Structure 1
Amino acid sequence: MARNISLNFRVVEGRDLPAKDVSGNSDPYCIVKVDHEVVARTATVWRNLNPFWGEEFTLHLPLDFHHLAFYVLDEDTIGHDDIIGKISLSKETIAAASPRGIDSWLNLSHVDPDEEVQGEIHLDVKLWTEAQGPRLRCHIIEARDLAPRDLSGTSDPFARIFWGSQSLDTVTIKKTRFPHWDEVLELHGEEGPLRVEVWDWDMVGKNDFLGMVEFPPDVLLQCPPSGWFRLLPFASAEEDAGGKLGALRLKVRLAEERILPSVYYQPLIDLLVESVLSPAQDDTVTPLAMLDEVSSGESRQDIATQLVKIFLGRGLAVPLLDYLNLREVSRTNEETKADRSGLAVVGRTHLRQDLDLGVLGYKSSSHVTQGFSKLAWCEQSVGAGPGQVRTSIPVCRICAVERVDENAFQQPHMMQVITKNRDGQLDTMYIQCKNVNELNQWLSAIRKASVCNEGMLPSCHPGAFRGNRWTCCLQQDRTVQGCSRTHSAVTLGDWSDPLDPDTEAQMVYQQLLLGRDKLRKKYIEFSEEKIKLEQEVMKGQSCLEEERSGVPEQERPPTATAAAHLLAVLEDLEQAHKTFEQQEKEQVARGSLHS
Structure 2
Amino acid sequence: MKRKASYLQRKRERKKKIKEGKFGLPTGSSDPYCIVRIDNEAIIRTATIWKTLSPFWGEEYNVHLPPSFHNVSFHVLDEDSLSRDDVIGKVSISKEALAAKPQGIDGWMNLTEIDPDEEVQGEIHLKVSVLGKGYAPKILRCHVFEARCGAARRISYFIKVSYFYFIQVVKKSCYPRWNESFEFELDEASADTPLSVEVWDWDLVSKNDFLGRVLFNINRLQSAQQEEGWFRLGPDKPKHSQGTLGSLRLKLMLRDEMVLPSSHYQPLVELLCQSVGGNLPELMMLIDETTTAESRQEVATNLIKLFLGQGLVKEFLDVLFKLELDKTGEPNTLFRSNSLASKSMESFLKVAGMQYLHRLLGPTINRIFEEKKYVELDPNKVELKEAGCAGLHRVQTEADVIQQSAGHLQSYLFDLIHAIVQSAVYCPTSLCQTFRQLYQRVQERFPEKEYRKVKYIAVTSFLCLRFISPAIMSPKLFHLREKHADARTSRTLLLLAKAIQTIGNLDTLACFSKEPWMVPLQPAIQQGIAQLKDFITRLVSCDDSEDLGLQARMSLQCGSMEKEGFLFLHRTKDKCMLMTSPFKKYFVTLGKDTLSYARTQHSKKSSFIPLPKIRAVEKVEEKSFGSANVMQIISEDNGQMETLYLDCKSVNELNQWLSALRKACIHNTDTMSSYHPGIYKGDRWSCCHQKDKADAGCDKTRHGVTLQEWYDPLDPDLESQLIFRHLIGVRQAMRAEGKCNEPALTSCTCCPSLADEERLDGVRRFFKVLQDLQDAHQAVEEEAERSRNKNFLLELQT
Q: Deviations along 1:349-379, whole A, 9 cap, x unmatched? A: 3112268889x99xxxx86523789876542
How much has 1:507 moved relative to structure 2? 1.2
Of 28, 48, 52, which residue of structure 1 is paired with 2:52?
Answer: 48
**More helix as a share of residues:** 2
Identity of aligned residues (%): 38
State yes or no: 1:211 paired with 2:208. no
**Are 2:29 and 1:29 aligned?**
no
Q: 1:237 to 1:378 in 2, by over 3 A?
A: closer
Is the contact made by 2:156 and 2:173 (CA closer than 8 Å) also made in structure 1?
A: yes
Q: Output one character per residue of 1:194-218: Cα deviation in whole Å (capped at 9) or x when no partner.
A: 4221112223321110011233445
| Aligned residue number for residue 353 of structure 1 | 354
Q: Which residue of 1 aligns with 2:663?
A: 448
Q: Report how far residue 327 of structure 1 moved.
A: 7.5
Matched residue type, 2:586: Q
2:105 pairs with 1:102:
yes
Aligned pair in 2 of structure 1 residues 371, 267: CA closer, same or farther (>3 Å)?
farther
- SS, match of residue 209 in structure 1: strand
What corresponds to 2:313 in structure 1?
A: 320
Counterpart residue type for residue 167 of structure 1 = I
2:585 aligned residue: 387
Q: Give how far 1:420 is off.
A: 2.4
1:428 to 1:586, Cα distance in 2 relative to 1, 3 A: closer
1:402-434 residue CA offsets vs partner (Å, 9 max, x unmatched): 22211121111222222223x133222222233
Partners in 2 of 1:88 and 1:331 — Cα distance? 43
Of residues 292, 303, 310, the one that matches 1:307 is: 303
| Cα offsets for 1:474-527 (capped at 9, x unmatched) | 11222111211112223333343235322211111233345559999xxxxxxx
Q: Is the 8 Å Cα contact of residues 107 and 250 (structure 2) preserved in structure 1? A: yes
**Gapped regions of structure 2 (runs ≥ 5):** 1-7, 188-192, 360-478, 481-553, 571-580, 589-595, 597-607, 749-755, 793-798
Separation of aligned partners in 2, 1:295 and 1:350: 21
What is the alpha-carbon distance in structure 2 between the residues aligned to residue 241 and residue 467 of structure 1? 47
Change (3 A) 1:26 1:428: same
The 5 A counterparts of 1:227-238 are 227-234=229-236, 236=237
- What is the alpha-carbon distance in structure 2 between the residues aligned to residue 102 and residue 374 of structure 1? 34
Distance 2:728 2:160 in 1: 55
Q: Secondary structure at the match of 1:6?
A: strand
Provide the residue aligned with 1:344 in structure 2: 345
The answer for the alignment partner of 1:184 in structure 2 is 180
Which has a greater percent of strand? 1
Distance of 1:485 and 1:464 partners within structure 2: 16
Matching residue's letter, 2:682:
G
Which one-letter code corresponds to 1:199 in the other structure? W
CA contact (8 A) 2:335 2:342 kept: no
Please give the secondary structure, in 1, of the residue aligned with 2:639. coil
**CA distance change for structure 1 residues 583 and 389 in 2, over 3 Å: closer, same or farther?**
closer
Are positions 1:569 and 2:769 aligned together? Answer: yes
Whether the aligned pair in 1 keeps the contact of 2:350 and 2:710 (CA below 8 Å) is no
TM-fit CA distance, 1:300 = 3.8
Tell me if the contact between 2:154 and 2:201 (Cα under 8 Å) persists in the aligned partners: no
Mapped partners of 1:409, 1:261: distance in 2:
43
1:515-550 per-position Cα deviation (integer Å, ceiling 9, x unaligned): 559999xxxxxxxxxxxxx9xx9xx88444899xxx
1:89 to 77, 89, 93: 93
Instruction: Kindly state the Cα deviation for residue 118 of structure 1 after the two structures are TM-superposed.
Output: 0.6
Instruction: Give the Å deviation of 1:18.
Output: 1.3
Contact 1:304 1:346 in 2 (8 A): yes
Residue 58 of structure 1: how far off its partner (Å):
2.4
Q: CA deviation at 1:117?
A: 0.8
Evaluate the alpha carbon distance shift between residue 425 and residue 79 of structure 1 in structure 2; reply closer, same or farther with a 3 A threshold.
same
- Give CA-to-partner distance per residue, 1:437-479, whole Å, 9 cap, x none: 3333333333233222211111111112222321111112221
| Paired AA for residue 169 in structure 2 | D
Contact 1:5–1:62, Cα closer than 8 Å, also in 2 = yes
1:468 has 2:468 as partner: no
CA distance in 2, matches of 1:437, 1:571: 42
Between 573-582 and 157-166, report the one with greater CA deviation.
573-582
1:219 CA drift (Å): 6.3
The aligned counterpart of 2:514 is: none
Q: How many equivalent pairs are there?
A: 541
Q: CA deviation at 1:231?
A: 0.9
Give the 3 Å change call, closer, same or farther, for CA 326–228 of structure 1 in structure 2. closer
Alpha-carbon spacing, 1:162–1:541, altered in 2? closer, same or farther (3 Å): closer
CA contact (8 A) 1:135 1:187 kept: yes
Which residue does the alignment assign to 1:427? 642
2 CA distance for matches of 1:441 and 1:578? 35
Aligned pair 1:370/2:374, yes or no? no
8 Å contact 2:32–2:50 — kept in the other structure?
yes
Query: Are the equivalent residues in 2 in contact too, given 1:34–1:67 (CA < 8 A)?
Result: yes
Tell me, in whole angstroms, the C-alpha distance in 1 between the residues paired with 2:220 and 2:286. Answer: 57
CA 570–447 in structure 1, closer or farther in 2 if over 3 Å, else same? same
Q: Partner residue of 2:712? A: 497
CA distance in 2, matches of 1:165, 1:308: 63
Structure 2-normalised TM-score? Answer: 0.59
Instruction: Give the letter for the 1:461 counterpart.
Output: H
Distance (whole Å) between structure 2 residues aligned to residue 214 and residue 76 of structure 1:
40
Q: Distance in 2 between matches of 1:128 and 1:572?
A: 48
C-alpha displacement of 1:129: 6.8
Q: Distance in 1 between matches of 2:302 and 2:623?
A: 40
TM-score of the aligned structures, taking structure 1 as reference length: 0.77
After the TM superposition, which residues 113-262 of structure 1 pair with which residues of structure 2 at under 5 Å, given as runs?
Answer: 113-124=116-127, 138-148=142-152, 153-174=153-174, 179-182=175-178, 184=180, 186=182, 193-217=194-218, 223-234=225-236, 236=237, 239=240, 241-242=242-243, 244-262=244-262
**In 1, are the aligned partners of 2:561 and 2:711 still within 8 Å (CA)?**
no
**Aligned counterparts of 1:294 and 1:331: Cα–Cα separation in 2:** 14
Secondary structure of the corresponding residue to residue 342 of structure 2: coil
Change (3 A) 1:482 1:321: farther
- Counterpart CA distance in 1 for 2:762 and 2:251 is 37
Higher Cα Rg, which structure: 2
Which of 13, 17, 34 is the equivalent residue of 1:10?
Answer: 17
* 1:400 Cα deviation after fit: 1.8
Deviates more, 1:464-473 or 1:487-496: 487-496
The CA deviation string for residues 224-259 of structure 1, in whole angstroms up to 9 with x for no partner, is 44432211112x3664645x2122222223333343
Question: Aligned partners of 1:218 and 1:202: how far apart in 2?
Answer: 36
Q: Classify the secondary structure of the residue corresponding to 2:196.
A: strand
Give the 3 Å change call, closer, same or farther, for CA 160–73 of structure 1 in structure 2.
Answer: same
* Secondary structure at the counterpart of residue 440 of structure 1: helix
Structure-2 separation of matches of 1:397 and 1:289: 48
Which secondary structure does the structure 2 equivalent of 1:172 belong to?
strand
Q: Helix, strand or coil for the counterpart of 1:170?
A: strand
Q: Using the alignment, how far apart are the partners of 2:198 and 2:68 within structure 1? A: 23
Post-superposition shift, 1:326? 9.9
Partners of 1:2 and 1:260 within 8 A in 2: yes
SS in 1 for 2:659: helix
Backbone CA RMSD of aligned residues: 4.3
Change (3 A) 1:381 1:442: closer
Cα separation, 1, equivalents of 2:157 and 2:167:
17
Structure 1: runs of 5+ lacking an equivalent: 521-533, 548-554
The answer to whether the Cα contact below 8 Å between 2:71 and 2:95 also exists between their aligned partners in 1 is yes
Q: 2:561, 2:712 within 8 Å by CA — same for their partners in 1?
A: no
Q: CA separation of 1:354/1:511 partners in 2, compared to 1, >3 Å: closer, same or farther?
A: farther
Given that 1:374 and 1:394 are in contact with CA atoms closer than 8 Å, whether structure 2 keeps it comes out as no
Q: For residue 384 of structure 1, report the CA deviation from its aligned partner.
A: 4.4
List per-residue Cα deviations over 1:126-170 (Å, max 9, x = no partner).
Answer: 66579x97777655332213323xxxx444322222244443433
* 1:488 pairs with one of 677, 693, 703: 703
